[in-house]
Structure 1
Amino acid sequence: MSTKSPIRSVISPGRYVQGPGAIARIGEFLAPIGNTPLIVADDIVWGFVGHEVTSSLKAAGLSVTREPFGGLPSAKEINRLVEVITGAKADVVVAVGGGSTIDAVKASGFLAGIRWVTVPTVASTDAPTSALSVIYTDDGAFEEYRFFPRNPDLVLVDSQIIANAPAAFLAAGVGDALATWLEARATAASNSLTMAGGLPTLTGTTLARLSWDVLWDNALPALDAVRDNLVTPAVEKVIEANTLLSGLGFESGGLAAAHAIHNGLTAAPQTHGLAHGQKVNIGSLTQLVLEGAPTSDIRDFIEFTTRVGLPTTLTEIGLTAEDTRELELVANAATVPGETIHAMPFEVRSSDVVSALKSIERFSRRVRDEAGLPAPKPYVAAH
């Protein structure tokens, strides 16, 4: 048995930069980090950022080498990128794109022994700031978390690019970030270890709460603004909450049931076309039910996240309360040893998760009906 005393830990990226037009300054911020960057971006993303990235890198005296991303942060794609990094003799790898690109780049940069930078083009997850990657199988199911000894050296966020993306991406980021406080407070209550490898810090827990408060105050006006591709103060606040506050909050505050249930949901093929934050929102709602949270809190969460555009019923993620076999698969995956659901301040069994998941359907429909909100529409995954 170890005699070491538990420690508390906060980890963070080396630098975080956010603002309209930030992409045009990538060379300026990248030059102190490496001389031979490898940019990883899919063809769609490169189509709308490639010119500015290329111009900025050349102005900073840096070479321009771009590698297309394969679409999924799987072990196969990560190993492929390591070979590309080695062949290019790159000393820094730069992810330009969404959470999947970012997770693949962090993992490949670590394996290649070089530095890594993230440039998110959507604010749909808190992946850009963290020192871990979520790895999936080639079929899209959750496989594992990979942890790294450091965070990205630079996170550069162009808020105009975020505002130009479909509002659904920002809404998904709200779903991911709202879970941060729910999980951090559970982790603090149980005094469990966080993703930073220590006990929860006051800093991590407080930033998680701040993320929650910022989103409740700003998410709806921010979503309206980005529907017109506008950058407003509310948009800037939501981008920061989704990306930085949530990233620091989950990593140094802790994960609990919501993300474990998200991971479990990936075991159901029906959910594979959904965004990370959409599945996390179902996890957050299920966590509130597992906690026996006040009915008013659950009702408020359903109303608010429905207005944001997030799913609050099984119907909206391709499942039903009658899908017992699928829900048992989800619950079993969410409660395997080592999953973050065991950071809850009470024991959670697979059967508890099944019951909680089934219960949200009828109650969410009731809340939505009483609030005059639209009835849920069935989701059909693309094949």
Structure 2
Amino acid sequence: MRDGAQIILGAGRYIQTPGAAALTGREAKLFADRALVVAGRTAWEIAGPDVEKGLRESGVEYKVHPFSGFCSETTVGSIVADARTYGAKLVIGVGGGKCMDASKLAADRLGVRVVTVPTTAATCACYATVCIKYDDTGTPDCNEYCSQPVGAVLVDTDLLSRRSPSRMLAAGIADAMAKYPEIDFSIRFVKGWDITIMPVSALQVAKSNTEKYFADAAESVRDVAAKRLTPVVDDILFTNLALTGLTSQLSSGSKQLAIAHGLYDAVSKLYKPQRARLLHGEIVSAGIPVQLAVNGYSEEYIEKNIRFLKELGTPTCISDLGIEPTEETLEAVLDFIFTNVGIDEPGLQRQIRREFARVMK
């Protein structure tokens, strides 16, 4: 039961349009007139000129805090300290998933609002209140929830279609494709779930998203590779960011963690060189065939997913990740997943072990 707990469904404001980054000042002004902008070097090169222009035109004073590394306690603490010293009353995150999460957590610690300006469509972190925390070496530590929704999300479709690599979009699609089978798995197998209308609704939204991806995602990736902003790209951006973020909120974020995302966590801890050169969704992609098989979906449906992921260009097996598919690899990955996800039922463990043969190549 929810026991009166606050239900947060993503962002207070969501604006998706060409030139949205230039609206940062207008949106920031709704919350404060002094902000700390958290941005990685590449993200700032892409979006910085538009963000700065908008802030100056709206009379919002700002300081840029360079982001690098992971959303760790060290990184978040550095952002909080800089914001306090500067007297910031708002945090603005400009970048990818780790920057978004660090910005959200820092704002929560400060008791101020956060505005996000995603420069990739690789995750729904700009929208969801759940934040993936790492240690300073890049090993996933835990998930933490913010106490309030994101103040505003500014999705600049021109930026994401013409100034962000199509690889980012493909990775976000693969990450989102894992939601449907993972939520289904969690409802049926993971302990501690309350089966209310919320996770059931999350499952239905995720299923609808998957159908949309099968219909249009490959075309959207081709369009972005050609630097075209089309109606299909606009739809897929909304699906990656807002609708997938909504499924995360409805399913309580970390509780949809299952095999595909468990593989991501295992690779992040055990195979750091491979993790460093891959995107989050690319690693998750390699675990999707196993997740589908463990759920008991038909071979026809599993093969449809594999063909789809290959068309996107995302991994479908362990060797695609640059990891040697040995028995030692299998044991290390399975041990991590069973412990991390909390899978201790022997029959389910045997089933997962058996189905991992699909990607051990």
**With structure 2 as the length reference, what TM-score do the two structures score?**
0.90
How far apart in 2 are the matches of 1:23 and 1:125?
18
**CA offset at residue 159 of structure 1?**
0.7
How far apart in 2 are the matches of 1:8 and 1:198?
15
Q: Deviations over 1:143-181 (max 9, x none)?
A: 111122222111111011111211100000001111112
Write out aligned runs for 1:25-40 (5 A): 25-40=23-38
Q: Deviations over 1:295-326 (max 9, x none)?
A: 1111111101100111001111122331x223
**With structure 1 as the length reference, what TM-score do the two structures score?**
0.85
How far apart in 1 are the matches of 2:342 and 2:18?
36
1:321 alignment partner, one of 322, 325, 332: 325
Match of 1:276 in 2: 280
Match of 1:372 in 2: none
How far apart in 1 are the matches of 2:113 and 2:6?
25
How far apart in 2 are the matches of 1:84 and 1:340?
38
Given the alignment of the two structures, is residue 121 of structure 1 paired with residue 119 of structure 2, yes or no?
yes
Against the structure 1 CA distance between its residues 354 and 202, is the aligned structure 2 distance closer, same or farther, given a 3 Å change threshold?
closer
Contact 1:8 1:198 in 2 (8 A): no
Write out aligned runs for 1:279-298 (5 A): 279-298=283-302
Given the alignment of the two structures, is residue 259 of structure 1 paired with residue 261 of structure 2, yes or no?
yes
Match of 1:200 in 2: 198
**CA offset at residue 6 of structure 1?**
9.9
Contact 1:208 1:250 in 2 (8 A): no
Give the secondary-structure state (helix, strand or coil) at the position aligned to 1:335. helix
Contact 1:260 1:341 in 2 (8 A): no
Match of 2:43 in 1: 45
Write out aligned runs for 1:108-257 (5 A): 108-163=106-161, 164-189=163-188, 200-253=198-251, 255-257=256-258
Q: Deviations over 1:247-301 (max 9, x none)?
A: 1112313514222232222222253121100111122222112223211111111
Give the secondary-structure state (helix, strand or coil) at the position aligned to 2:93. strand
Contact 1:271 1:318 in 2 (8 A): yes
**CA offset at residue 240 of structure 1?**
0.7
Match of 1:370 in 2: none
Against the structure 1 CA distance between its residues 260 and 198, is the aligned structure 2 distance closer, same or farther, given a 3 Å change threshold?
farther
How far apart in 1 are the matches of 2:4 and 2:81?
39
Contact 1:181 1:249 in 2 (8 A): no
1:106 alignment partner, one of 104, 107, 122: 104
Q: Deviations over 1:208-243 (max 9, x none)?
A: 222212211111111111112111011001101111
**CA offset at residue 60 of structure 1?**
1.1
**CA offset at residue 8 of structure 1?**
10
Q: Deviations over 1:2-45 (max 9, x none)?
A: x9879895622111111111111111122112221111111222
Q: Deviations over 1:98-130 (max 9, x none)?
A: 111111111111122221121101100111111
How far apart in 2 are the matches of 1:226 and 1:148?
32
Give the secondary-structure state (helix, strand or coil) at the position aligned to 1:146. strand
Give the secondary-structure state (helix, strand or coil) at the position aligned to 2:75. helix
How far apart in 2 are the matches of 1:138 and 1:98?
17
Contact 1:335 1:348 in 2 (8 A): no
Contact 2:289 2:316 in 1 (8 A): yes
Q: Quick one: which amino acid aligns to residue 268 of structure 1? A: L
How far apart in 1 are the matches of 2:172 and 2:103?
20
Q: Which moved more, 1:47-56 or 1:118-127?
A: 47-56
| Structure with the largest fraction of helix | 2
Contact 2:183 2:199 in 1 (8 A): no
Contact 1:167 1:226 in 2 (8 A): yes
Contact 1:188 1:205 in 2 (8 A): no
Q: Deviations over 1:47-83 (max 9, x none)?
A: 2322211111111111121111023212211111111
Percent same amino acid among aligned pairs?
25
Which 5+ residue runs of structure 1 have no aligned equivalent? 363-383
Q: Quick one: which amino acid aligns to residue 173 of structure 1? A: G
Contact 1:21 1:160 in 2 (8 A): yes
How far apart in 2 are the matches of 1:246 and 1:297?
21
How far apart in 2 are the matches of 1:10 and 1:63?
29
How far apart in 1 are the matches of 2:9 and 2:73?
25
Against the structure 1 CA distance between its residues 267 and 135, is the aligned structure 2 distance closer, same or farther, given a 3 Å change threshold?
same
Contact 1:191 1:199 in 2 (8 A): no
Contact 1:8 1:200 in 2 (8 A): no
Q: Which moved more, 1:226-235 or 1:284-293?
A: 284-293
